[in-house]
Structure 1
Amino acid sequence: MTDSFKPLVFSGVQPTGSLTLGNYLGAIRKFVALQDNHDCMYCVVDLHSLTARLVHDDLADQTRAIAAAFIAAGIDPHRHIVFNQSRVPGHAELAWIFNCVARIGWMNRMTQFKDKAGKDRENASLGLLAYPSLMAADIMLYRATHVPVGDDQKQHLELARDIAIKFNNDFSERIEQAGLSVPVTMGEEKVNAYFPIVEPLIEGPAPRVMSLRDGTKKMSKSDPSDNSRINMTDDAETIAKKIRKAKTDPDGLPTEVDGLKGRAEADNLVGIFAALSDRSKADVLGEFGGRQFSEFKPALSELAVSVLSPIGEEMRRLMADPGHLDAILWNGAEQANGMAEKTLDDVRQIVGFV
C-alpha cells in the first residue's frame, strides 16, 4: 500500500488479434468504470506484442483498433491518457535497468513463460522471458500506484512489486542522497523509497468468458474458429448468429446455480448473460431456469447486441479515420513522454549515469 504518491492507474492491452467479448467484460469495461474516480493511463502495449509474434502484417491497424475499442467503449482521451507504448522510448530504457535488477530465477518461475515457451524453452525469445520486467517498467515509468489485474497477470504484478522493492533497497543510499526518497507503506512498516509498491485493483470478480464452441476453453482471439468468439467489431447479425450456433447440451436451464456444475457450455452462456446485464447467475436462472436454450438464446442475443453493437459500430467509424486515432495516440504519447522523462531523469541520477 502506498500513501505518499498521487494515485494513478495504469492499464495495458496487447494489439494481437481482434478484441473479443472476453476482453471487453474482463478488462475494457472495467477500465471505463475506473476513469470516473481515478487518474488513468490506457496503453496499447505494442512492444509486448512482439513476444507473441515478431512479424505482424497489420500491427499498426491492430494498435489503432485497441485505441478505437477504448474510446468506443467509453474511455475519454481528453480526461485520461491514451497512447501506445512504442512511442515512449522510456519503457525500453527502464526495462533494461529492471532487467539488471531482476533475477533470472524470478523470470523462470513465471507461469505464463512456462506455458507459452512450452517444452522448447531453449528456443523461446529473450523477450518472452523478460516480459514481466517490461511490464514492471510500464507501471513504474509513471510511478503508478494501482493496476487492474486478472488472474493471469497477478504473478507478473507481484514480480513488478519485487523489482520495485529490490531497486529501492539496492539504491537506498543514492535515493536518499539525491533527495528523491518518498515515504512508502509496506505492510505495517513505513520506509523511504523512490518507486511505489503498486497495488492490484480488483473491482469485483472478473467474468471468465469461455469459447462458444467449447465451454472448457477460454474465449480467445487466436482461436482458428471465428465462431468460437464474439468480436467487439461483430455486427448485430453476426453476434446473433454466433450465439444461435453456440454449443449447448440437450437439457434445459437449471433453476439453481449448483445445477450448472459439469455443464460447461450452459454455465458459460448463463455467465455471459449475467455479466452483460450486471446480474448474478442466480438472478438469471431465477428468470430463465427450467426453460430451454431455444428460449434463452434469443434473449441472450438481444442483450449482447444491445450492449456490443453500438460499440462495434463506433469502433468501425473510428477505424475509418486512422488519422484521428493517430492524433489521439500522438497526443497521449506526448503527455506520457513528459511524465516518463521526469522519472528517467531521477533514475539516471540514482543509478549514476552522466
Structure 2
Amino acid sequence: MALPVRTNLRHVFRFIHQLNSPKRYMCAASTENKLPATEPPGGERVFSGIQPTGVPHLGNYLGAIENWVSLQNQYPSVLYSIVDLHSITQSQDPAQLRNNIVDMAASLLACGIDPERAILFQQSQVSEHAELSWILGCLTSMPRLRHLPQWKMKSKQKNEGSVGLYTYPVLQAADILLYKSTHVPVGEDQVQHLELAQDLARIFNNRYGDLFPEPRALMSSTRKVKSLRDPSAKMSKSDPNAMATVTITDSPDDIALKIRRAVTDFTSEVTFDPETRPGVSNLVTLHAAMATISVEDAVSQAKGLDTGVYKKLVTEAVIQRLTPIREEIERLRADRTHLEEMLARGTQRARELAAPVLREVRQRVGFC
C-alpha cells in the first residue's frame, strides 16, 4: 500500500538533509572520501582558546592575545578558538553571549589575528570537541580533577560548582588533542591543566595505540597585569570595581581616569619591586609592555618623576597603543555579517581537521 504523500515528502526531506549534513560520525574504515590530512605541516601546531567575555581587558591583551599575534607568524599551523562551551560553566544570558562571541572575534582581528594565517573559530560549532571530551572524561579519575586549580578556586566561590566546572579541564584537553596540537601557549595558572592534556594523550595512546602527540607549553614571557585598585589580584573583567580594569575599547578619558586612580603607596619615587611596591610595579609593567620597552628602560624614563607625574607617562603609552585597536573594533562591529561569515569559514576549516581525528578515535575505542 502506498504511503500518504505527506509521509513520502517527509522521508524525502529527511534523506536530502542527511545527504547535506556533515558525516561527523562515520568511521575511518567506512569512509571512502577522506577529508584533508590532519597532520600539521612541519609537525608543529599551536592551539589556544579564549572565553567570549566581551571585549578583552589589558590583562587578556598582554597576557595572551599579543602573544597569539606573534605565534601565528612563527608556526605553520595555528588555531585560535572562541571557547563558548567553556563560558557556560557560569550562567550566561543567551543574547549577551551571542554578542560577546562576535565582539571577541572583532577584538581578536583588531589586535592583529589574521584569519588567513590562523584558523579562528567558534568552539561550540565543532561538535567533535564535546564528543572527544566525553571519551577522555572516561579515561580520567575524579581525584585527578579534584585537585586542579580551576575547580579548587571556583567551587569555593560558589560553595559547590557544577559538573561542567568540574570537568572543564577535560574539555580543555579535548580542545587541544582534537587537532593533534604540539604547542599550547599558557600562563602559570594553566600549567596543571596542560599537564592533564599530556597525561590523557599518554593514557589514550597506551590503551589504543599512538595517536596524539603530547602537547608542550609555550610559556608567556609577559608579566601578569594586576588590578589597578588591588595590585595583589589579577586584572579581571568580573571585578566589581569599575576603576580596577582597563578594557581595550576604553576611551582616552576613561583610561586616564583609571590610571590616575591606580593604587600606589606613600613613596613618590618610581621603582620596580613587586614584593614591597606592587602598585607602582604594576604601573611599570604596564608602561614597559605598552611602550614595548624593558622594565629597566621604563624605570629609567621615570627617573626624577613622582608617581603622580609617572601615571601620565603610563597613560600616554596605553592610549597610544590602544587607540588604533579601539577604532578598528568599532569599524568591524559595524559589519556583523562579515564577522559571522569569517567565523563560519574558520569553523569549517577547524571541522575539516577535527572530523578525521574523531573518526579515528571512534574506531580505536570500538564504536565502529
1:68 paired with 2:103, answer: no
- TM normalised by structure 2 equals 0.85
1:223-234 equivalences in 2 (<5 Å): 223-234=239-250
- 1:280 maps to a residue whose letter is S
- The separation in 1 between residues aligned to 2:123 and 2:247, in whole angstroms, is 24
Query: Quick check: 1:150–1:206 contact (8 Å CA) kept in 2?
Result: no
Alignment-derived partner of residue 182 in structure 1:
none
TM-superposed deviation, 1:88 = 0.3
- Give the superposition deviation at 1:248: 2.2
- Corresponding residue of 2:151: 113
Aligned amino acid, residue 113 of structure 1: W
2:44 matches 1:29:
no
> Which piece of structure 1 moves more, 275-284 or 129-138?
275-284
Q: Report which stretch shifted further, 280-289 or 309-318.
A: 280-289
Q: Residues 17 and 221 of structure 1 are in contact (CA less than 8 Å); yes or no, is this contact kept in structure 2?
A: no
Q: Deviations over 1:254-287 (max 9, x none)?
A: 4x534x5412211111111111123232221122
Q: Which is higher, the Rg of structure 1 or of structure 2?
A: 2
> Contact 1:31–1:75 (CA<8 Å) still a contact in 2?
yes
Work out the CA distance in 1 between the residues paired with 2:239 and 2:134: 33
Q: CA deviation at 1:351?
A: 0.8
The residue matched to 1:101 in structure 2 has which SS? coil
1:159 matched to 2:196? The reply is: yes
**1:292 aligns to 2:306 (yes or no):** yes
Runs of 4+ in 1 over 3 A off after TM superposition: 2-5, 54-57
Q: Is the 8 A contact 2:44 2:182 kept in 1?
A: yes
SS in 2 for 1:118: helix
What letter corresponds to residue 218 of structure 1 in structure 2? K
The structure 1 residue matched to 2:323, chosen from 289, 295, 309, is 309
Instruction: Map 1:247-326; keep pairs closer than 5 Å.
Output: 247-254=263-270, 257-258=272-273, 261-326=275-340
Aligned match of 1:201 = 218
Q: Distance in 1 between matches of 2:47 and 2:147?
A: 24
The 1:218–1:56 alpha-carbon spacing in structure 2 relative to 1, beyond 3 Å, is farther
For 1:125 and 1:119, how far apart are their aligned partners in 2? 12
1:8 aligns with 2:23: no
Match status 1:238 vs 2:254: yes
1:53 aligned to 78, 91, 102, which one? 91
Shift of 1:90: 0.4
2:16 — aligned with what?
Answer: none
Name the Cα RMSD after superposition: 1.9
| C-alpha deviation, 1:56, in angstroms | 4.5
SS at 1:82's partner residue?
Answer: strand
Q: Which amino acid aligns with 1:210?
A: K
Question: In 1, distance between residues paired with 2:42 and 2:204?
Answer: 17
Q: What is residue 348 of structure 2 aligned with on the other side?
A: 334
Seen in structure 2, the aligned counterparts of structure 1 residues 5 and 125 have a Cα distance that, compared at 3 Å, is farther
Q: Scaled by the length of structure 1, what TM-score is found?
A: 0.88
2-side partners of 1:4 and 1:66: how far apart? Answer: 28
What corresponds to 2:35 in structure 1? none
Q: Secondary structure at the match of 1:166?
A: helix
Task: Please list the CA deviations of residues 198-245 of structure 1 after superposition, one character each: whole Å capped at 9, or x if unmatched.
Answer: 000124x22211111111111100011221110011122221222122
- 2:213 aligned counterpart, secondary structure: coil
5+ residue gaps, structure 1: 173-192
Q: What whole-Å deviation, never above 9, does each CA across 1:109-163 have from its counterpart, x for those lacking one?
A: 1122011001765x31111010011001101111111000001111100001001
Aligned-partner residue type, residue 308 of structure 2: S
The 3-state SS of whatever aligns with 2:48 is strand
Q: CA deviation at 1:300?
A: 0.9
Report the AA paired with residue 308 of structure 1: L
For 1:248 and 1:4, the matched residues in 2 are separated by 49
Separation in structure 2 between the aligned mates of residue 99 and residue 353 of structure 1, nearest angstrom:
16
Please name the residue that 1:212 is paired with. Answer: 228
